[in-house]
Amino acid sequence: MSQNGLLLVNLGSPKSPSTKDVKIYLKAFLSDQNVVTLPKWFWQPLLRGIILPLRTWRSATYYRHMWTQAGSPLTVYTEMMQRKVQAILKDWDVQYAMNYGGPTIGDCLHQMQDNGDDHIVVLPLFPNYTQSTHDTIIEKVKASGVPTTIIKHFDDQPTYQKILASQVDECYVQKNYDTVVFTYHGIPMSMIKKGDPYEKECQQTTANVQKYLQQVPDNKVLTVFQSKFGPMPWLKPYLKNTLMELAAMGKRNVLLVTPSFVEDCLETIEENNVQNYQTFRSSGGKVLDAVPPMNASDAFCQFVADLSEQKLRGKGDVNEGTAK
């Protein structure tokens, strides 16, 4: 029996917080040339000989801090989202895959095809398009040979913007915050110079969400980037530097908004709640809170379901992307 299918694709996570599993995950992630664009002949010896030996044990420590009894928060919330969206789209086949690790994109698409899914929508769970998150997903989808329709980004959807604005307003009124910082995952400046639209999309996301904010004054909002990796210049301003500057200016109560991360993960739990919090406090800051990610909320799951149906109906401006 033919049916529609929806494949939710997230970044992925190590199987466990063990050093061995974290190394396997990091090797796959950092070997992706859409993530690190340096030539393989130069990058691979550096990755295997220096970066993995130095980085793996530290990353494994971070993963152990955030790991739950149910597993990695990113995986737990992705599974929860899949179940909730499936409950909404009762006549669809809703599955999830990971770009790094399992379940793999190709295996899931072939299984969905075997299940009789003749119209499959693929939704990467990243609001803003960039080469480093989307292109490998698109390549793997095309390599599967299964016809699909890909939603390349959803930051421009008013419903998504309203959901995020509502979350920000709800958190903002709880304390007397001096600044609201929209912090996006950074990418190398070299990608922007080659035409990647990510920076413009992020700036536009902040501006669009501001239109729906009811409680936050425009002059309290900043846009920054986090998670810089390596010595090369990345998108600025950097979150860590901004936090130190805000503390020095006497703005000691800050609320973070993390649109790049629709679910809690290493960046939200460990990087922001621990590392950036410590930096802020040591610089004189007092309160560093964060608006929780979507985390499979009812409103976000309904949005995902509606967006997928809208894409197949061909109504509205849901951005391009067909893989065959």
Annotated binding site: 185, 267
Under 8 Å between Cβ of 290 and 256: yes
| Nearest Cα to Cα of residue 160 among 264, 300, 316, 260 | 300
Q: Contact at 8 Å (CB) between 165 and 213?
A: yes
CB 97, CB 29: distance < 8 Å: no
**Exposure of 208 in the CB half-sphere (CA atoms within 13 A):** 20
Residue 55 phi, psi (nearest 5): -90, -30
Which residues are known binding-site members for Fe(2+)? 185, 267
Separation of CA 193 from chain center: 22
| CA dihedral angle for residue 192, residue 195, residue 197, residue 198, rounded to 10 degrees | -30
Separation of alpha carbons 224 and 305, rounded Å: 30
